[in-house]
A and B are shown apart, each in its own frame.
Chain A
């Protein structure tokens, strides 16, 4: 099977999405920006007032002037605090709203992905996107964006203030910016990859430790201690190398930027001295400008620290949005048929790497019939099951139910008619009721309990909290057999007329498998059943047996007919019975 990754959104889509976010909440964004600007402006008043105080003191003003100006500073601080609070609060609310929208959208789109796409991409990629990437986008939108916006606003206003003091002084203040800009560009080009590599190395190390602990008994049994230590040591070395690489980047970036911070202050003082002697500015003005520049270090520092984080957030956003670029599962084209006959005509199938699996399958399954499919591993049994369930479409030929191609049915309609049961089962986080009800939303509690009873899930009926019992993730964990019974109860509720069983119990240990199969028998009555048989007795009791070998049906008939035909099935049956 080849892996076709999920798409990643391009820059334009990401930019569009960001603009969309801002636009959707235009009023909030405007208010927040206005409040922040007002807050920063009041913040700037302190150095300016300090300059005024100095001028006043130099001019020989008395204590009362000083008192008055100091009181004004205090007033500005309070005003700034209030503005700051409201800007922060409203900004936070906006961020929360935006993030909530993004993640809900992501989950909705994920739920609409066609199964075949999910399977090709693997759930690993999607899981990373749903946890790490959605989280990173959340942090960026909620925390990083405000910091970057505020820092930029502060910088803009600080430099603006210096320009106001004197335009030439403002120009002088810009010295130091070119080196900061160049160093930042240099750093940003390399930083993302280096930090991603570092993060990956750390994750690998944690993984190495965790899996070694998980498999501790196997390590002891197979005496893998040395191998595991070596494996982990390699991971430690890789983390060290990753850290060295990022440190090397910082070793260039930090000193250049930090050294540049002194330049504007120095330049303003020097030029200020010159302007002062010409009488173009006051002493207070120069000092205020120097202090502004000293103050600008802090937001500049913050901006540079977070900008890299923001870049990573954008990369995550691109991955989150990428999910939305997969065309959703197509709606059905055909009207759902009444008939229940499942017919396969000349079905061929090959995976996208060109590896042929099925070479022309012809098969008719009558309503209510039990058909067993047997054959060696790799014969294409599971692939046939997927074609029958309409998850994949044959490359040529057709699979139809009641005369209508299964892939033309609306997915929801198709699921109501045909269910595919595999070894995989999943217990969702939530109550027992949540775990059943999604299969049939309109059912009553009594029906849910009766479904549990049908599959022999006595444990569920004995639960103290009944249907309210929380399952999964730290709450009650279900064993494999219990989980499989839950899956079967869902089937009883969904009530499809055709069931395809793909080694539904093969991954369970034998005890569990027996209990599950007993439950399964209860579900099968009155339905068409196609069972990929794993034990020959299943085949023995089926109405007909199909032997699949090398992508072709080589034998087809009842158990007795096949024994009489003396083919490969008969051979196997004899060896089974020793």
Chain B
């Protein structure tokens, strides 16, 4: 937080200065009104009255100017802080990588991005006016003292005492409100839930039941709202009545003093005005204190996110990666990935296939060697640049299809077209209303499972890694398309190392070599035809896939 303050000392200082002037300015009007009454109205002195009234108008304009300058300065302070915080959070999130997904959930990032940043920024805005509030309070104290020390003491102590008394009441209101807000959030979630499930309801029915259930809960919330109203209305009335009573006491005291001739009528009117105006800085302290507390909580969350260490940053580099394409070897299963070939891995347990891919791509602790040297000791950045593991559900960011595919600035349209062709995804683009320029939501929810899968595949191909590891790249497409992809993938990756984790005969049939993995061990290696011939377990695995697919039996 201090970092943010230090980032813009001039603005904060200016905010403090203008804030002070503005708060002091607030107390000018009662003074001017008092003088207008005392010097102009009572003695019936029109010239004096005219001057004081002119002063009131001028002060009004000056106050308005100060007010907006204060607001502008503080808005700039706040927005500058927001932008700076957002930028550092953005950088942290962008380079957090796989470690981020493991250690934080997206909801936390949403809280940080959505509210924590603005909470912290809001704290900054109290720096300027905070100073102003202190000075304004002091100025009012001096002026009041000059009128009457007794009244000054009464007002200067009474206003904070009153504010401190009302403060807990308002906190209590917030407490009552938060229960209501929570329930309201749940109800909103239900409405959104119903909307999201509309198609299911259309398929199966049961709409009336949902409407009734919702109405019941809505009724509960309404009753909860009544309860909130019962409490909050007292609090609201109290927060208005307590200052009212205090004001009455001040007026009474001042009037007695005026009657006794200790102060003038104008001074009495001024005292009345000061009480109202002192409330502003005092409130400010209360609010400010509360904001600082909340700001600290938010700042801590932001810092937790910023201090997250990405994978590989703190690991020692012990070996250099091989200079030219080399063989990957996984000692755990005994799998060898031959250079420049299309290797298919048929694993009996899909979880083993995913774990194997994570080891080969160094997303997990790994004993894998690359060109004979341990993969775990190589610089992570270079490993990532040369070996790509594309998960079954790798993330698709929101944007146009072109933006999604354009993962490197130097990609040409021809390269993109070639990758789309290899992934048999041309018809996906054709079916979109604006082709490549159609915007797609995050996770490409608007596309079907098969369409998403092909876009992912095209994107992975465009990365042109030395080693490409694909997990079930065709599980969601129909047989026609799968056959096409199998053939084209092979052509597209000719001469490059490609590993496909799959059990579909269409893909396995096109691979140079197939490795059959069972119980975390490679049990057989050969072509699809050879294995089907010689390995009963393999035949069962590949045809089991088919057997279970038999929906209609």
Contacts and interface: CB of A to CB of B under 8 A. Distances in A.
B154 interface: no
Interface in B30-46: 30, 33, 36-37, 40-42, 44, 46
B197 A426 contact: yes
Interface residues of B, number: 176
Interface stretch (B132-140, B331-339, B366-374, B545-553): B545-553
B384 A255 contact: no
Interface in B334-393: 350-351, 361, 363, 384-385, 388-393
Interface string A210-237: 1111111111111111111101110010
Contact of B479 (A286, A411, A507, A535): A535
Contacts of B248: 46, 70, 73-74, 77
A127 B196 contact: yes
Contacts of A473: 189, 193
Interface in A51-70: 53-54, 57-58, 61-63, 66-67, 69-70
A164 interface: no
Contacts of B104: 213
Contacts of B397: 211-212, 215, 224, 228, 231
A429 B189 contact: yes
A359 interface: no
A126 interface: yes
Most interface-central of B209, B241, B503, B549 (chain A CB within 10 A): B549
Contact of B56 (A220, A233, A250, A266): A266
Nearest to A500: B203
Interface stretch (B13-21, B142-150, B164-172, B442-450): B442-450
Interface string B255-271: 11011100001001100
A85 B106 CA distance: 43
Interface stretch (A16-24, A452-460, A570-578): A570-578
Interface in A106-122: 106-108, 110-113, 115, 118-119, 122
Contacts of B361: 221
A287 B37 contact: yes
A521 B551 contact: yes
B83 interface: yes
Interface stretch (B59-67, B122-130, B490-498): B59-67
Nearest to A513: B475
Interface string B233-256: 110111011001101110110011
Interface in A25-74: 46, 50, 53-54, 57-58, 61-63, 66-67, 69-70, 73-74
A437 B204 CA distance: 11
Best-surrounded residue of B54, B236, B237 (most CB of chain A within 10 A): B237
B244 A77 contact: yes
A209 B442 CA distance: 12
B322 interface: no
Contact of A494 (B205, B211, B363, B472): B205
A220 B384 contact: yes
Contacts of B505: 576-578
B427 A277 contact: no
Interface stretch (A97-105, A310-318, A333-341): A97-105
A265 B33 contact: yes
A244 B61 CA distance: 23
Contacts of A578: 505-506, 509, 528-529, 532
A444 interface: no
B29 A265 contact: yes
Nearest to B215: A104
Interface string A496-510: 000001010011011
Contact of B213 (A209, A256, A430): A430
Nearest to B98: A217
A2 interface: yes
Contacts of A2: 433
B480 interface: yes
Contacts of B82: 239
Nearest to B387: A221
Given A84-B241, A88-B229, A111-B201, A273 B49 contact: yes
A531 B552 contact: yes
A276 interface: yes
Interface size class on chain A is 35 or more
B344 to A, nearest CB: 12
B10 interface: no
A202 to B, nearest CB: 8
B75 interface: yes
Nearest to A259: B64
Interface stretch (B1-9, B217-225, B289-297, B413-421): B217-225
A257 to B, nearest CB: 8
A326 to B, nearest CB: 13
B209 A437 contact: yes
Nearest to B503: A510
Interface in B425-462: 427-428, 430-431, 433, 441-442, 446, 448-451, 459-460
Nearest to B96: A216
Given A80-B240, A229-B94, A521-B553, A53 B255 contact: yes
Contacts of A422: 199, 203
A103 B195 contact: no
B205 A439 contact: yes
Interface string A242-273: 01100100110011111111110110011011
Contact of B472 (A266, A487, A509): A509
B481 A377 contact: yes
A11 B221 CA distance: 29
A93 B273 contact: no
Contacts of A231: 397, 399
Nearest to B67: A258
Given A229-B90, A283-B41, A62 B259 contact: yes
Contacts of B98: 216-217, 220-221
Interface stretch (A155-163, A188-196, A342-350, A536-544): A536-544
A144 interface: no
B52 to A, nearest CB: 8
B234 A85 contact: yes
B296 to A, nearest CB: 21
Given A88-B233, A261-B60, A501-B551, A54 B214 contact: no
B90 A84 contact: no
B551 A517 contact: yes
B71 A210 contact: no
Interface in A140-172: 142
Given A70-B251, A108-B211, A423-B449, A118 B83 contact: no
A372 interface: yes
A537 B550 contact: yes
B91 interface: yes
A208 interface: yes
Contact of B94 (A85, A93, A219, A514): A219
A535 B199 contact: no
Given A419-B204, A426-B197, A218 B210 contact: no
A318 to B, nearest CB: 18
Nearest to B42: A283
Contact of B350 (A89, A97, A375, A511): A511
Contacts of A416: 205
Contacts of B93: 209, 212-213, 216, 228, 232
A332 interface: no
A54 B407 contact: no
17 contacts: A46-B244, A61-B259, A89-B233, A212-B90, A219-B96, A225-B95, A228-B94, A251-B72, A269-B49, A270-B50, A277-B46, A376-B480, A424-B200, A503-B449, A514-B549, A524-B551, A572-B480
Given A213-B106, A229-B91, 11 more contacts: A2-B433, A57-B255, A77-B248, A103-B218, A127-B192, A135-B184, A211-B397, A222-B407, A266-B53, A370-B552, A472-B193
Q: Which 9 A-B pairs have the closest CB atoms?
A: A262-B60, A438-B206, A215-B395, A220-B97, A92-B229, A81-B241, A507-B449, A70-B252, A258-B64
